[in-house]
């Protein structure tokens, strides 16, 4: 295909953009234009809101929005909204929620809520001179940023600590202001970045005016960190081993518990397994983060760094069997917001928060950590008992049928047929071929 470039694309109307893309990259441009238009929101105002979330918007990309009911968390029942494109994730979360509902439910506790940001700078001067006047510098930084922090302070948040770090052993002349923040119910990215950029300006002026005007300080960058190990939540489940019951036919609860704990230990010691184990956790976490209009890339990045905090990438969850009590838990940093960002702008994110009872950011941290743990419990439970394919392929069956262009009637028939059979793409296609060739009696009404 010939490579295409364009100038002034962002200035084109939405239809103009669609046409350019359709005409330059597709063999059936008219059909593509109609297809993309068909996913526009019928309400123009709503569409305008959605378009404003990004740039060069052509259409909307749909993903399923589902719910997992029966989550008992700290004694309260939640129906958890989830946006996910993978079959069996919502079913798994729901099944884990139901399982733990009769075993004391889930527990969760926010351990800390600090967010972090950094001003990275280069300075050839003697860092000790800056250290000696750090109290003065700190006052100046706080004073200059006061117009930005005033509102957040009224809400109970603001700047917490400011530290000066000498990083010059790692990179010549490189230093840092490391700043911690409390951002209450907002994720706080814009607030933090605005404060940090202001700090950068003030720092530069302070050095010029009070320390050494001949050695100018260069701001390399000022930005929040998505690694927030002190914005941490713990979620856990526990019950006597006996109460785990008959998780899998023919497997004693004690055997199940030991096998489960071993599987979690393997994910602690082996990064290959840890990655997949944590991917399962993020199946649940990302789904709720998305459904509530939060930033799943930030959550993923921070979570994975936390998983590697001792130098090796490890499982985010842990399991222990002590005095015949089975305990399974997760500690995870989650920098979330329930105000600001898309949380109130995205029409469905707004409904998700309402569905959760309009939680504070800390309550949302608890719900999301629990959903990750539930997802992990369901995945590891399947892995150490039946294997995941049995359940997964059952849930995936409708995708296979859609892929094969099955009618509603054929779907009903095939789903019934595979009720107690192993699903595979080949088996479904063969059965459907047989059905279509008249080799089978068509049973659906």
- Tell me which residue has its CB nearest to ligand MEV: 280
Tokens of 194: 């605005």
Helical ranges in 60-156 per DSSP H: 89-101, 127-132, 134-154
> What 3-state class would DSSP assign to 411?
helix
Contacts (Cβ under 8 Å, ≥6 apart) of 46: 347
Least distance (Å) between residue 273 CB and ligand MEV = 8
Which element (helix H / strand E) includes 3? Answer: none
Tokens read off for 302: 């921070």
CB of 296 to ligand MEV, least distance (A): 15
* Residues in contact with ligand MEV by the rule CB under 6 A: 86, 276-277, 279-280, 283, 379-380, 383, 388
Q: Which is nearer to ligand MEV, 266 or 444 (CB)?
A: 266
Annotated active-site residue in 14, 35, 41, 86: 86
Question: Helix (H, G, I), strand (E, B), or coil: what is residue 237?
Answer: strand
Is residue 249 part of the annotated active site? The answer reads: no
Minimum distance between the CB of residue 252 and ligand MEV, rounded to whole angstroms?
23
Q: Residue 189 corresponds to which tokens in the numbers above? A: 């990215």
Give residues with Cβ within 8 angstroms of 97, minimum separation 6: 68, 69, 70, 71, 72, 80, 374
Please say which residue, 59 or 317, places its beta carbon nearer to ligand MEV: 317
Placement of tokens 């002034």 in the chain: 8
CB 106 within 8 A of CB 373: yes
Residue nearer to ligand MEV on the CB measure, 17 or 277: 277
Select 196 or 374, whichever has its Cβ closest to ligand MEV: 374
Comparing CB distances to ligand MEV, the nearer of 14 and 265 is: 265
CB of 279 to ligand MEV, least distance (A): 5
Provide the 3-class DSSP secondary structure of residue 14: helix
CA 128: distance to chain centroid?
41
Q: How far is the CB of 263 from ligand MEV (least distance, A)?
A: 8
- Is residue 286 part of the annotated active site? The answer reads no
Instruction: Please give the structure tokens belonging to residue 366.
Output: 């608890």
Min dist. Cβ of residue 391 to ligand MEV (A): 10
> To the nearest whole angstrom, how small is the minimum distance from the Cβ of residue 280 to ligand MEV?
3
Residue 233 forms beta bridges with which residues?
Answer: 110, 332
Q: Which of 118, 310, 294 is nearest to 222 (CA)?
A: 118
Judged by beta carbon, residue 227 or residue 236, the one nearer ligand MEV is: 236
Note if 212 is an active site residue: no
Q: Which entry of 210, 215, 279, 327 is annotated as an active-site residue?
A: 279
Catalytic residue among 115, 392, 394, 417: 392
Residue 105: left if φ>0, alpha if ψ -120 to 50, beta else—which one? Answer: left
Q: Distance between CA 190 and CA 196 in Å, rounded?
A: 10
Nearer to ligand MEV, 222 or 288 (CB): 288
* Catalytic annotation, pick one of 185, 295, 366, 410: 295
434 in Cβ contact with 414 (< 8 Å): no
**Distance of closest approach, residue 95 Cβ to ligand MEV, in angstroms:** 13
120: annotated active-site residue: no
Q: Which is nearer to ligand MEV, 127 or 383 (CB)?
A: 383
Q: Residue 436 and residue 445: Cα distance in Å, rounded?
A: 15
> Cβ neighbours of residue 345 under 8 Å, at least 6 residues apart?
49, 53, 293
Catalytic sites, residue numbers = 86, 279, 295, 392
């Amino acid at each position: 295909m010939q490579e295409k470039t364009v100038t002034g694309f962002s200035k084109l109307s939405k239809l103009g953009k669609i046409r350019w893309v359709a005409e330059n990259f597709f063999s059936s441009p008219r059909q593509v234009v109609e297809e993309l238009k068909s996913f526009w929101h019928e309400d123009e105002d709503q569409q305008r809101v959605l378009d404003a979330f990004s740039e060069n918007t052509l259409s909307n990309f749909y993903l399923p929005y589902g719910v997992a009911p029966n989550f008992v968390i700290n004694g309260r029942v939640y129906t958890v909204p989830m946006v996910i494109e993978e079959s069996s994730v919502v079913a798994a979360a729901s099944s884990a929620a139901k399982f733990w509902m009769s075993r004391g439910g889930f527990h969760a506790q926010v351990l800390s809520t600090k967010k972090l940001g950094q001003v990275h700078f280069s300075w050839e001067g003697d860092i000790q001179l800056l250290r000696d006047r750090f109290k003065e510098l700190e006052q100046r930084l706080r004073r200059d940023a006061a117009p930005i922090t005033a509102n957040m302070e009224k809400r109970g948040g603001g700047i917490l600590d400011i530290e000066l770090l000498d990083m010059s052993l790692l990179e010549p002349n490189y230093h840092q202001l490391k700043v911690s923040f409390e951002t209450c119910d907002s994720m706080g990215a814009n607030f933090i970045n605005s404060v940090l950029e202001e700090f950068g300006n003030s720092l530069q002026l302070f050095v010029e005016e009070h320390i050494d005007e001949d050695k100018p300080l260069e701001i390399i960058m000022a930005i929040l960190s998505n690694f927030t190990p002190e914005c941490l939540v713990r979620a856990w489940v526990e019950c006597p081993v006996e109460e785990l019951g008959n998780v899998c036919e023919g497997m004693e609860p004690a055997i199940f518990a030991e096998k489960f704990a071993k599987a979690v230990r393997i994910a602690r010691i082996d990064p290959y397994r840890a990655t997949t184990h944590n991917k399962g956790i993020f199946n649940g976490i990302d789904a709720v983060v998305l459904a509530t209009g939060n930033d799943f890339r930030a959550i993923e990045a921070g979570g994975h760094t936390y998983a590697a905090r001792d130098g090796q990438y490890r499982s985010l969850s842990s399991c222990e069997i002590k005095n015949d009590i089975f305990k399974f838990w997760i500690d995870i940093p989650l920098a979330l917001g329930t105000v600001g960002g898309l949380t109130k702008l995205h029409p469905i994110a707004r409904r998700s928060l309402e569905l959760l009872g309009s939680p504070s950011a800390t309550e949302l941290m608890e719900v999301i950590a629990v959903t990750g743990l539930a997802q992990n419990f369901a995945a590891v439970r399947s892995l150490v008992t039946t294997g995941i394919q049995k359940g997964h392929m059952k849930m995936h069956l409708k995708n296979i049928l859609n892929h094969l262009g099955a009618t509603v009637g054929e779907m009903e028939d095939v789903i019934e047929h595979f009720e107690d059979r192993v699903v595979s793409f080949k088996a479904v296609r063969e059965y459907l071929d047989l059905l279509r060739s008249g080799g089978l009696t068509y049973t659906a009404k």
